[in-house]
Every structure is written in C-alpha cells, then in structure tokens.
C-alpha cells in the first residue's frame, strides 16, 4: 500500500470515525432534546395545573364566604324567634314583615347580597328584601330535613349572573322554622374566573345542576352541560373530585375540583403553553454535538470543562424554569430566593404589585421579615422533617408595610435546597393574604360580639366567665354576675318601632359600659337583657355598689327620634362561689333574682337566695307544661254568674280558666297567663277558652243564659288575630254575636289606645258585646274612653270590697257608676262579698253585680243546674 493509499485509507477511516461520532452525537443530541423537551413540558403542565388549582381555591373560598354570610343572617335570634311565632300562629304575616323587614335589610347591606327571600316552615315566601327577588323556579331545593346550606348553580337573570344560597333557619332545639335564600351578584366570581382566563384563555365553571359559566377576557356566558364539548369530559371528572389533564385538537385541557359537585376547567393552546421551549433546548443540544466533534478530534482535555459547563448551564436553566413556574403559579404574590447567609438573591417583579417597591428598594426590615422565619434552617440549627435535598418548610407569616405605610400580611411558603449536606439557598413564594386575614378577623368578631351594640355576646361572655371562674379558684377570690333587664323597653319598641328601639339599646349599652371598671365585662344577653361580670370583689356590698352605678347611669333621660325617654332596669345578682360553681348556674341564678327584682317594681336590685331557685324551677315547669296542658285536657273553664240589680235575676256569666296541674295542683291564671304571653302560647290558650265557653253557651241556649263573658289578653290583640278567632268560633258554633261579651283590661286599652280602638271597632262591627274589665285601677284618659265602642264597665273588686269600710272607696265606686251611666254604659260591680256591699251599689244605681256573696265560680255541671234554678247563693237556705 502506497503512502497515498495509506493516507487515503486514513482519511477514509477518519471520515468514517467522524461520521460515526457525528451520528452518535446526533443520536445523543436527539435523546437529550427529547428528555429536556419532555421535562419542560411536564413542568409547564404542572405549573398550569397548579395555577388553575389556585384559582379553584379562590372560588371555593368565595363560596365559603357566601355560606358564612348566609348563616349569620339566618342565625339572628330576634327575627328567627319572630318567624317561629308566625309558624305557630302567634303573629300574623303583616306583623312578621313589619318586625323582620328592617332587620333583614340591615343584615343585607354589609353582606354583599342583592336580596334575601325568607320562607316559613311550609316553604312559603313570607318576606323579600333587596332588589333581587328571582322566581321560585330558580331557587335551590329546600325541605325541612336540610341542616346545611344548599347552593344553586350560577344563573343568568335580568342580564346578570347570580349565585343563590339557601340556608335553614333552625330553632335553639334544632327544629325546622323555615329558610333564607340569599341572592348574590356573581361579579366577584366572574372576576376570579377572569383572572384565570388572562392572556386569551377561557375558563369554565360547572356546578351540580350542570350549568356551565364560561368566562374569557372579553365576556361571560351561561350554557347547559355538554355545550362546551372541548372541556365537558374534563369538567365531569373534576366534578367527581379528581384532577384532569387532556389533550385534544391542539388544546391542553386542565380541570380541578372546587368543592363536591363543582369543577373548574381551562383550555390552553399547545403552542402557547409550550412556546419558547425550543429556544431553551438549542444550547444543550449544540453542546452535545460539540462534545461529539471534539471527542472525534481527541480533545479530551477540553471535554471535561465543557461537561461541567453543560451541567452548570443545565442547573441555571432548571432554576430559571422553576422561577418561571413559580411566577405562573403565584401571579398574585411574588417569588423570592435567599442564599445561605440570608441575603436576598432574587425577588420577582410581583413584589412591586404587592408592596409598591421593587427588590432594590425594599427596606431592610421587610427583607428581614421575609427570611427570619427560615433562619434556623439556613444556619443549620433546624432540619426539615423529610431530610431531603429539596425540602418543603413549614408555612410562616410575615407582617410588613407597603410603600404607603399600610400593613400587609404575607403568607410565606418556602423550600430549602442542599448540596452534599450543605445548605445552598431557600426559595419560595409570598402571597398577600391581608384581605383574607381581615375577613377572618371580621367573622371572628361577629361570632363573639353583638352586631348592634358591639358588646360581647353570649358566646364571648361564656368564655370570659369560665376563665374568670378558673382565676377565682386559683387565687381563692370571688366574682359577681349581674343580670340586667330594662324596665319600660317594650313600650318604646311597641310605640316607636324596632328601629328606634335599636337606637335606644345602643345608647343604653354605651351608658352601661361607661359605668363599669376595668375589672368588669358587660355583654348583651339578648333583647333588652345585659349581663355584667365583675371580678375582685369582697362580697355582696361590692356587687350592690356595681348595680347602683348601673342604675345611676340610666337615670338621665335618653333622646331618641326627638323624644325624651326614661328607662330603668331590674338587676339580679349571684356570686361565685357563694351561689353557684358554674357559669350556667351563675347566670341562671342571677336571672331568677332579676325576676324577683322586677316583681318588686321599677329600678330594683335583688341578691340571689336559695328560695328563688324553687320559684324559677316552678316557673320553668309551668312554661314547659303549658302547651301540654292545653292539648291534654288539664285546663278547665269555670263560670261565675252575673246578676241583675236590684232583682237579682241571672243576666249572664263570666268564663274563667283554671289549670289543674298534675304536680302543683290548681294553678291560678294570674300565675300562668303571664307565662303564656311570654312564650307565645297565649293565642292557643285564648282560642281554646273562647271555643269552650261559646260551645257550652250554645248548649244552654239563649232562653237559659243570655250572655257569656270571655277575657281577652292584650297580647292576643297586639300580636294575634282576635277578630279572626272570634269570627271563626261564631261561624263554627252558630252563637249569636250579641251573646258574646269580650272583656279587655283598662290598662291595656290605655297603653295601646290607637291599636286598641281599631281592634275593638272591628269586633263591635261584628255585633260582639265589649266590656272594660277592672275599671278604675288604670290611668284612663276620658278622651279615649268616650271613643271606645264598649257597652259595659266592670268596677274593679278592690273598690267594691272597700266600699262598706272606706269612705274613699265608696265615693270612687259611686263616681265610676255615675260616670258610666253618663256615657250610656251598663255598669257591673265585681267582687261583691257582703250584703252591705250589694246594698250600697244598689243605692248607687249599679246595673249588675257578681261576687262570692251572690255565687262563686262553678263547674259546667253546676252552672247548668243554676240555670235551671237561677237563685243567688245569698237567697238559698
């Protein structure tokens, strides 16, 4: 072989070797490019999926906030109790609406809702507040079994998108009372989806009813399920609780679950999602080819530094990719990186959007706040739990200020990176959670403070009282609980309205708060009741001194709506450990003492004594058994005859209710009627007595008993439908209206003159007889008295029984009889117990009488026998 051939062979071998090396290089470059491309694509997918998940969390938080608002509205005790009263017939629809409208409107303003629809226990709409009141076909499904909120898919109505949430209204015993439907404008929800749809993308949100809300950076629209064929399969998977990633027709579809039955989806073009990746691949591929060529030339010494350079550049590319991923995922915050010495190496431009400053203008205090929670990991004094080379650290909080000096709360999430056991750096994301923290504080405040007076509520009072008791046990000290109930507040509410009543309560709360020291807490217990907790007292004298301060604080008049109002209080006191050892018993005993104080008159203070517990338990037993008594035939009606004067012929009878309690025996109506008025059973009780008395009268017949008198509670007139009840009983029994006489106390008529006159005129128009009971004990205005459509005055027994021994009583009795006759009224004297009293009222010209001297109250059978032989007791042998 010649030299030339040898050279030619060498050249061929060299070319072949170079070709093999180039081919190997191309193969290596292709494999490298494919691996880098696959890794970069997976990273981009994860970044986009994480960004969508972040938006899904924002949607879930938005729904949670709406549900919290709905619960706060439905749990308002006063309007909830009014709805309960309406459900059981203790109040009518008009009164319910008058009572609840302003309060629901007040709740509506700060809630962000556009409308509230209140339903009763039967699912009927009883009230609507606000501008948004969609038809029932749009409402969420509602039934008495619901104990959680129910949400309807977003809907389009009157050109806007809405979210409707139904929340059950439950009694304190978890009984179904009805439901509230809150209608929220969905602009905030659309805004969250718009942020997800930035850059020409579109976002879809689908709910349990299959309605899809589509939002892009131009507009929004609502479509039925399946209308978005591109994302429908992914949305269905997300609604089932799983994440989804699908590729179809050049689009990458991402979907995440938001909450049970809800899914959020986004479709991104592949060219947009993976744009720029080829540019990142050019450098490593070129380096691989270069290494192959250099290897062919035998430059081994150069290959090693090039390899190190490739590794370094790959690491830099990975860090840049991670930083880009974080920026995409946490667009609402900013990314940061600190080296092992705690110096800031990178803070993304998003910091300027959050704090108003770029990285190079951040004050040292802000930088220190960002890194300080993680210094133990940088210094090696703390080690992550997982102990990996790239470990996630526990979340932290940082409180900083922005450029304008406003406080900003940052949520910090970070990872620490190690190399050969040594810390390299930490990197993470800071998100602005100021609004969320403020919302959380507001919700916490609403849960612990009364929204009207801003005083601690029952929940907060229970917590403070429990802690105070523990302190007293630890230091062998005493404390006092004062239960304060306002005197005369009901009159303000009834006469001026609940809005003015609320103004008065606010003013009272300010006065009471100013009357206590730093060792005391005052809380609103509900309605017009307040509870004061005072610590570091020596005994009852200190507690009574606090009570006196509270009463003095209320002495000055209050000015509400241009009127001067005087409000007093009744205060009950119980001491720890003298009267009780638990918070519940302390409050309960103070409440019992307060009722005793109220019974003694206005502006009284009562210390708790053991006998008050028995009285309180008796009252609770009466309250608990009253409805059972009405339904279980424990009540009976007795009849006291009424007689003409002077001949003493039978003119009629008054129906009186008695309660034969299985444990307490016979209970006076003076004891259980006030309880019935307070707990709302007076309407049921009054209707029962009215029906029973009228039914018996019909059995006796008009020739045998001309008139039956039935007492009517003022509560029935104010809060019930007494006219409707009377009309129904008359139609049911067929009794002639003129044979029924309704007796109303003078005090009630004068306390509620205008309302009283209107109701009495309606009853009189039906032909029913009307009488003023207990006349002379109230404070009648003659101008009102002459307007009342009554036919009879009943002189109170206290005057009649004193007429034969007291000249003043005799004169008053004669004056009342004369005045009644001047007004054209029939006068009947009550409580006639002696012959002298009977003779005196006959001389005064009284028309009729009733009392023990003539006949005691008697059973139905006894009354029937008396009708057969109508002779008064004073003439029987």
Of the candidates 483, 480, 502, 482, the residue with the CA atom closest to the CA atom of residue 493: 502
Enter the DSSP assignment of 137: G
> Which of 59-63, 81-85, 105-109, 203-207 is modeled with the greatest confidence?
81-85
Question: In whole angstroms, what is the distance from residue 744 CA to residue 729 CA?
Answer: 18
Q: Are 428 and 335 in contact (CB under 8 A)?
A: yes
Please report the pLDDT score of residue 731 as a whole number: 95
Question: In whole angstroms, what is the distance from residue 787 CA to residue 757 CA?
Answer: 8
Query: Peptide bond before 646: cis, by omega within 30 degrees of 0?
Result: yes
Please report the pLDDT score of residue 507 as a whole number: 94
| Runs of H (alpha helix) within 554-681 | 583-599, 610-631, 669-679
Report which secondary-structure segment, H or E, holds 526: strand 520-526
Largest CA distance in the chain: 170
Structure tokens, 193: 């989806």
Angle at 83 between CA 80 and CA 86, to 5 degrees: 155
Query: Peptide bond before 577: cis, by omega within 30 degrees of 0?
Result: yes
Q: Is the pLDDT of residue 303 over 50?
A: no
Tokens 């006219």 correspond to 723
Enter the DSSP assignment of 180: E
729 pLDDT tier (thresholds 50, 70, 90)? very high
Please report the pLDDT score of residue 164 as a whole number: 87
Question: In whole angstroms, what is the distance from residue 77 CA to residue 86 CA?
Answer: 14
The residues, any chain, with a CB within 8 Å of residue 830's CB and separated by 6 or more, are 774, 794, 795, 796, 797, 800, 849, 850, 851
Q: What pLDDT digit, counting tens, does each position of 351-377 carry?
A: 988 988 888 888 988 888 888 888 888
- C-alpha distances in Å from residue 877, one per residue of 775, 834, 862, 871: 33, 16, 17, 11
Region 58-64 average pLDDT: 82
Of the candidates 545, 602, 615, 601, the residue with the CA atom closest to the CA atom of residue 573: 545
More confident residue, 399 or 43: 399
Its pTM surpasses 0.75: no
| Runs of H (alpha helix) within 701-848 | 714-719, 722-733, 746-751, 753-765, 782-785, 797-802, 807-822, 835-843
- Give me the percent of the chain exceeding a pLDDT of 70: 82
Q: 540 burial class (0-12, 13-18, 19+ CB within 10 angstroms)?
A: middle
Question: In whole angstroms, what is the distance from residue 868 CA to residue 860 CA?
Answer: 13
Q: Are 422 and 397 in contact (CB under 8 A)?
A: no
- CATH numbers and ranges of domains, the chain: 60-185 (3.30.450.20), 189-273 (3.30.450), 330-447 (3.30.450.20), 449-608 (3.30.70.270), 621-869 (3.20.20.450)
Structure tokens, 65: 């906030």
Q: Are 371 and 410 in contact (CB under 8 A)?
A: no
Please report the pLDDT score of residue 223 as a whole number: 66
Question: In whole angstroms, what is the distance from residue 857 CA to residue 862 CA?
Answer: 9
The residues, any chain, with a CB within 8 Å of residue 427's CB and separated by 6 or more, are 322, 323, 326, 335, 336, 337, 338, 346, 414, 415, 417
Q: What pLDDT digit, counting tens, does each position of 672-727 carry?
A: 887 787 777 888 899 999 999 999 999 887 767 889 999 998 777 766 788 999 99
**How many C-alpha atoms does 152 have within 13 Å on its Cβ side?**
24
Beta bridge partners of 655: 639, 710
Q: What pLDDT digit, counting tens, does each position of 792-820 carry?
A: 999 989 889 988 888 888 999 999 999 99
Q: What pLDDT digit, counting tens, does each position of 544-567 carry?
A: 999 999 999 999 999 988 888 888
Q: Is the pLDDT of residue 660 over 80?
A: yes
- Give me the percent of the chain exceeding a pLDDT of 90: 31
Q: Cα torsion for 591, 594, 596, 599, to the nearest 10°?
A: -130
Q: What's the chain's average pLDDT?
A: 82
305 pLDDT tier (thresholds 50, 70, 90)? low
Strand 344-347 and strand 211-216: pairing? unpaired
Query: For the CA atoms of the chain, what is the radius of gyration?
Result: 42
**How many C-alpha atoms does 585 have within 13 Å on its Cβ side?**
13
Q: 850 burial class (0-12, 13-18, 19+ CB within 10 angstroms)?
A: buried
The SS3 of residue 166 is strand
The SS3 of residue 707 is coil
Q: Assign 3-class secondary structure to 635-648.
A: EEEEEEEEEECCCC
Q: What pLDDT digit, counting tens, does each position of 447-457 carry?
A: 889 999 999 99
Q: Assign 3-class secondary structure to 828-865.
A: EECCCCCHHHHHHHHHCCCCEECCCCCCCCECHHHHHH
Q: Is the pLDDT of residue 778 over 60?
A: no
Of the candidates 286, 288, 248, 285, the residue with the CA atom closest to the CA atom of residue 270: 248
Q: What pLDDT digit, counting tens, does each position of 447-493 carry?
A: 889 999 999 999 999 999 999 999 999 999 999 999 999 987 876 77
More confident residue, 244 or 84: 84
The residues, any chain, with a CB within 8 Å of residue 810's CB and separated by 6 or more, are 802, 803, 804, 840
Question: In whole angstroms, what is the distance from residue 763 CA to residue 829 CA?
Answer: 24
Region 236-260 average pLDDT: 76
- What does residue 638 show for φ and ψ, rounded to 5 degrees? -110, 165
* Ranges 55-59, 740-744, 767-771, 862-866: which has the least confidence: 55-59
Q: Are 645 and 847 in contact (CB under 8 A)?
A: yes
Q: Are 780 and 751 in contact (CB under 8 A)?
A: no
Q: Is the pLDDT of residue 651 over 90?
A: yes
| Runs of H (alpha helix) within 330-448 | 350-355, 364-371, 375-379, 434-448
Q: Are 256 and 53 in contact (CB under 8 A)?
A: yes
Of the candidates 305, 332, 251, 316, the residue with the CA atom closest to the CA atom of residue 283: 316
């Amino acid at each position: 072989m010649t030299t030339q051939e040898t050279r030619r062979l060498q050249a061929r071998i060299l070319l072949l070797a170079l070709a093999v090396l180039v081919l190997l290089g191309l193969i290596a470059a292709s494999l490298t490019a494919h691996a880098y491309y696959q890794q970069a694509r997976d990273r981009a997918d994860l970044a986009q999926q994480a960004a969508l998940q972040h938006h899904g969390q924002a949607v879930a938080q938005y729904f949670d906030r709406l549900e919290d608002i709905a619960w706060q509205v439905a749990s308002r005790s006063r309007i909830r109790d009014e709805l309960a009263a309406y459900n059981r017939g203790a109040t009518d629809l008009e009164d319910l609406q008058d009572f609840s409208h302003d309060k629901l409107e007040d709740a509506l303003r700060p809630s962000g809702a556009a409308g509230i629809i209140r339903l009763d226990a039967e699912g009927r709409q009883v009230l609507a507040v606000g501008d948004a009141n969609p038809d029932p076909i749009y409402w969420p499904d509602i039934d008495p079994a619901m104990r959680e909120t129910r949400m309807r898919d977003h809907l389009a109505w009157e050109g806007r998108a809405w979210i409707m949430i139904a929340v059950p209204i439950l009694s304190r015993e978890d009984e179904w009372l009805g439901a509230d439907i809150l209608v929220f404008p969905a602009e905030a929800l659309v805004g969250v989806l718009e942020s997800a749809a930035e850059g020409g993308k579109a976002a879809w949100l689908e709910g349990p009813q299959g309605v899809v809300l589509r939002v892009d950076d131009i507009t929004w629209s609502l479509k039925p399920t399946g209308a978005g064929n591109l994302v429908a399969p992914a949305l269905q998977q997300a609604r089932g609780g799983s994440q989804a990633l699908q590729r179809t027709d050049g689009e990458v579809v991402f979907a995440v679950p938001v909450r049970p039955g809800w899914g959020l989806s986004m479709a991104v073009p592949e060219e947009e999602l993976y744009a720029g990746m080829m540019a990142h691949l050019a450098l490593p591929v070129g380096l691989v080819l270069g290494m192959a060529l250099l290897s062919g030339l035998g430059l081994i010494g150069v290959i090693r530094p090039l390899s190190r350079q490739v590794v370094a550049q790959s690491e830099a590319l990975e860090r840049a990719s991670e930083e880009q991923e974080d920026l995409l995922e946490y667009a609402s915050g900013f990314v940061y990186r600190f080296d092992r010495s705690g110096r800031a190496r990178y803070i993304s431009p998003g910091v300027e959007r959050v704090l108003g400053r770029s990285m190079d203008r951040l004050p040292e205090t802000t930088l220190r706040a960002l890194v300080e929670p993680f210094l133990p990991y940088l210094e090696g004094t703390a080690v992550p739990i997982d102990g990996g080379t790239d470990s996630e650290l526990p979340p932290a909080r940082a409180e900083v200020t922005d450029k304008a000096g406003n406080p900003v709360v940052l949520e910090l999430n970070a990872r620490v990176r190690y190399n050969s056991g040594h810390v390299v750096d930490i990197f993470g994301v800071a998100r602005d959670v100021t609004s969320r923290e403020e919302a959380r504080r507001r919700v916490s405040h609403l849960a612990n403070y009364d929204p009207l007076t801003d005083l601690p509520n029952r929940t907060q009072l229970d917590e403070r009282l429990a802690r105070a008791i523990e302190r007293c046990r630890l230091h062998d000290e005493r404390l006092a609980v004062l239960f304060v109930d306002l005197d005369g507040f009901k009159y303000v509410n009834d006469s001026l309205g609940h809005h003015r009543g609320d103004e008065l309560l606010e003013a009272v709360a300010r006065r009471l708060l100013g009357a206590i020291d730093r060792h005391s807490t005052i809380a609103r217990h509900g309605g017009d009741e307040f509870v004061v907790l005072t610590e570091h007292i020596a005994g009852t004298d200190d507690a009574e001194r606090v009570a006196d301060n509270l009463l003095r604080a209320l002495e000055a008049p209050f000015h509400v709506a241009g009127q001067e109002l005087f409000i007093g209080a009744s205060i009950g006191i119980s001491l720890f450990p003298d009267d009780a050892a638990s918070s519940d018993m302390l409050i309960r005993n103070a409440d019992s003492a307060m009722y005793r104080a109220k019974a003694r008159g206005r502006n009284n203070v009562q210390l708790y004594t053991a006998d008050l517990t028995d009285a309180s338990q008796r009252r609770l037993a009466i309250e608990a058994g009253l409805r059972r008594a009405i339904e279980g035939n424990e009540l009976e009606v007795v009849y006291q005859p009424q007689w003409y004067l002077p001949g003493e012929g039978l003119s009629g009878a008054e129906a009186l209710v008695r309660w034969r309690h299985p444990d307490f025996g016979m209970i006076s109506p003076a004891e259980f009627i006030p309880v019935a008025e307070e707990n709302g059973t007076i309407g049921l009780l009054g209707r029962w007595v009215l029906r029973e008395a009228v039914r018996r009268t019909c059995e006796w017949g008009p020739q045998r008993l001309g008139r039956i008198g039935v007492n009517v509670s003022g509560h029935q007139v104010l809060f019930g439908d007494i006219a409707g009840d009377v009309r129904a009983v008359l139609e049911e029994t067929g009794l002639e209206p003129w044979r029924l006489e309704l007796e109303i106390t003078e005090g009630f008529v004068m306390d509620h003159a205008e309302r009283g006159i209107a109701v009495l005129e309606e009853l009189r128009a039906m032909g029913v007889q009307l009488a003023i009971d207990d006349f002379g004990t109230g404070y009648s205005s003659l101008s009102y008295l002459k307007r009342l459509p009554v036919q009879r005055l009943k002189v109170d027994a206290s005057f009649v029984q004193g007429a034969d021994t007291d000249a003043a009583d005799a004169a008053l009795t004669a004056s009342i009889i004369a005045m009644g006759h001047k007004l054209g009224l029939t006068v009947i004297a009550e409580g006639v117990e002696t012959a002298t009293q009977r003779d005196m009222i006959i001389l005064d010209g009284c028309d009729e009488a009733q009392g023990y001297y003539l006949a005691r109250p008697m059973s139905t059978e006894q009354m029937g026998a008396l009708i057969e032989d109508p002779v008064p007791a004073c003439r029987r042998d």
